[in-house]
Amino acid sequence: MFIRHEYRRTVHLKKMTNGIVKYKLRLEGQNRPFDIDILAGGVSLNQQADGLIQGEIKVEAIELEFVIRSQQCGIALAYFYVEIEDGPPISFQC
């Protein structure tokens, strides 16, 4: 990671069932302080008072856009947790 460089990546959260899937996404932790934001369905994780994005997947998939900035060089890891209504939770890191 380079100092004061912004990284943007988009991933797809795809549903594997019919109907609407409700989810809650939150940042669980980081290995060191750095700026990270996720945009899901036009909602920013950093703009939510509770640090939680709640949404629905009505179509086949939604896009999650990750925006990462750091004032330090080195490896930066963030851990996320997604609760799925009527389904098992998932977690991932970036």
Split into its structural domains, the chain has a count of 1
Answer yes or no: is 18 within a domain.
yes
Q: Are 43 and 53 in contact (CB under 8 A)?
A: yes
> For position 50, which CATH number holds?
2.60.40
Answer yes or no: is 1 within a domain.
no
| DSSP category for residue 18 | S
User: Strand 52-57 vs strand 43-44: parallel, antiparallel, or unpaired?
Assistant: unpaired
Answer yes or no: is 70 within a domain.
yes
Answer yes or no: is 2 within a domain.
no
Return per-residue pLDDT of the chain as tens, 94 residues: 566 778 888 888 887 888 888 888 888 999 988 888 888 877 888 887 788 888 888 888 888 888 888 888 888 888 999 888 888 898 988 8
Answer yes or no: is 79 within a domain.
yes
* pTM as predicted: 0.77
Q: For residue 88, what is the enclosing H or E element?
A: none
Answer yes or no: is 22 within a domain.
yes
Q: Look up the domain containing 19 and give its range.
A: 7-93
Answer yes or no: is 40 within a domain.
yes
Q: Are 22 and 82 in contact (CB under 8 A)?
A: no
Q: Are 93 and 76 in contact (CB under 8 A)?
A: no
Answer yes or no: is 88 within a domain.
yes
